[in-house]
Structure 1
């Protein structure tokens, strides 16, 4: 049986209806930081268990309880989340991590390097420059994983 992990990042306090609709049916949700408010996490938690990391703009008191990095284990698969990929502080392959989820750049990315899948779902919050409004998903089936990015707003 496969599991769906909804991926979202850089909401900056804006949880669009399109993002909520996209995340429906997720078994887990990973938020890649720059959340914007505790309310965003509370709304996501109504859909599925949330793993969230603090972004560089998450500075208010509520955010101090949100870790800068976190692990999620789904079956045999380990996922590592952090906001800014440039601050990666582990060797993912050496640590047994199969997927690294990030945010920060607002640029959607799916890239595999040395057996590790790097996924940035892009920004689901306010539009930045001409970058897309997007979210993502991981489909996990045992030790197999695939990723996909969804553009939420034209």
Structure 2
């Protein structure tokens, strides 16, 4: 990713995944003030998206547990561009494809594993915000924040509950 010399205002995008019917107050507080929210699947209930939409516009994909309408009708992949950064959202990283860079992708947002992760490969930023839903095993409850400024993207994943 490249930084522009001319500064533009930053866009804050909240990242959340694997809520599995649970909208934690800690998640709503964490996401407050975002310009937009991305949900990377396993929503399970439209009420989750409705609660998030009261904070900011929501882009969401269908996860493997999103089997009831209306969340079952969500797309499995979404590509969006914010400022000069193109983001691919899928639930499971195995659905990303062989060469997302050739499609102009700068950031890949996934869920599914419930494990928060940030990495950079081939000039692309990969982020899994982890799970903001019911605790699974001993994995943390987490969400992420993607900051986009011009053509530059940075991300943080934070624990919501200790």
- Secondary structure of the residue aligned to 2:100 is coil
What is the distance in 2 between the residues matched to 1:46 and 1:90? 36
Which residue number in structure 2 is paired with residue 125 of structure 1? 133
Partner of 1:76: 84
3-state SS of paired residue (2:21): coil
Question: Which string of whole-angstrom CA distances, capped at 9 and with x for unpartnered residues, describes residues 24-55 of structure 1?
Answer: 01111000100120011111111111110000
**Where in structure 1 do 4 or more consecutive aligned residues deviate above 3 Å?**
none
The equivalent residue for 2:32 is 24
Q: Secondary structure at the match of 1:138?
A: strand
Q: Alignment length, in residue pairs? A: 154
* 3-state SS, counterpart of residue 94 of structure 1: helix
Query: Could you state the TM-score of these two structures normalised by the residue count of structure 2?
Result: 0.93
Point out the more displaced range, 104-113 or 42-51. Answer: 42-51
Aligned counterparts of 1:73 and 1:90: Cα–Cα separation in 2: 20
1:9 corresponds to which of 2, 6, 17: 17
Measured against aligned partners, the alpha-carbon deviations of 1:110-144 in whole angstroms (never above 9, x if no partner) come to 00000110000000000000000000011111001
What TM-score, normalized to structure 1? Answer: 0.97
